[in-house]
Amino acid sequence: MTDATAAAPLDRALLRRTRGRQNRGYRRFLLPAIVTIVVLTIVPLIFTLGLSLTSLSYSSIRGPRFIGLENYADLFGDARFIASLWQSAVLIFVPLIFQLVFGFMLALVMNERLPGLGWLRVIFIIPMFFPPIVMGLLWKVLFTPQLGGINHYLGLIGISGPAWLSDPTMALISISVAAVWGWTPFVTIMFYTAMQTFPSDLYEASRIDGATWVQRIRFVTLPLLRQTALVVIVFRIMEGLAIFPIIYVMTSGGPAGSTETTNYYAYITGFEFLKVGYASSIILTFLAILVAILAPSTRLVLKNVGERG
């Protein structure tokens, strides 16, 4: 037996011990994050699930009792809950479409090396600094006819402005406008950052081949942005619940419940009607629907990241 052959088992044993120490070190570093996730996410979810299986209601003199899945069964016959799902879909996906379009257009402008774009880049991201409740207050002032705002300027050119927050359709449009204005900068920054990493030789090759600016966008930029766009979509759907403060300030779910999203309905049910058990079933069902929608996209993102790695 040669010295090299005899040393091989020792080297493997040393490698296993080294990896074991590294793994223990990684676990120690990850432990605070894991504990935080469990305390702030898992425990409240389990507690909410427990409440959803009871008849807990502070508006009733009867004490809470275990009723199993009765609250969830009642949801399928709750017209207000079904309507809130539709309004949630509208107020998540309609603004998302415009955020993607405008974010892409602004990213293209920011990516061009033009004089004076430094200040424009700052202006583009200003809405990101406004908390959602401030966005709601700002746009409520703009959309309230008695306070001037948009209708005042429309009147200057002879146009009679609509009742933005009093008409069901216009109220949905108003909240969508506020959401597009507030979160388009996030999409813009994601697209712009991705564009900065694109290999320049692809664009040079396309220029040499005679491709126009539009063709370069279509056949080079858009395919390279596909993965980033998927990540943006996942994040924006996950943050769809963040529209709650805007609705609360601008319309309070009105008029006639036309802007009442599912999480807002859960809030009304739990904190105004005091039906805590039923409100818990509403919000958990809504979260389950969001997870079902996001799971395929998230899986695709992780798969692509793994392939790149």
Q: Flag whether 275 is in a domain.
A: yes
215-258 per-position pLDDT tens digit: 888 888 888 888 888 888 888 887 777 788 899 999 999 888 88
- Helices 276-308 and 79-111, interaxial angle, to 10°? 30
Q: Flag whether 253 is in a domain.
A: yes
Q: Flag whether 136 is in a domain.
A: yes
Rounded to an integer, the average pLDDT of 141-149 is 82
- Residue 72: pLDDT over 90: yes
pLDDT for residue 17: 61
- Domains of the chain: total: 1
Q: Flag whether 162 is in a domain.
A: yes
Taking alpha carbons only, the member of 225, 226, 232 closest to residue 108 is 225
**107: domain range?**
78-308
Q: Is the pTM of this model over 0.95?
A: no
- The dihedral over CA atoms of 269, 271, 276, 280, expressed in degrees to the nearest 10, equals 70
CATH number of the domain that 289 lies in?
1.10.3720.10
Portion of the chain with pLDDT greater than 70, in percent = 84
For residues 62 and 266, the answer to whether their CB atoms sit within 8 Å is: no
Q: Flag whether 39 is in a domain.
A: no
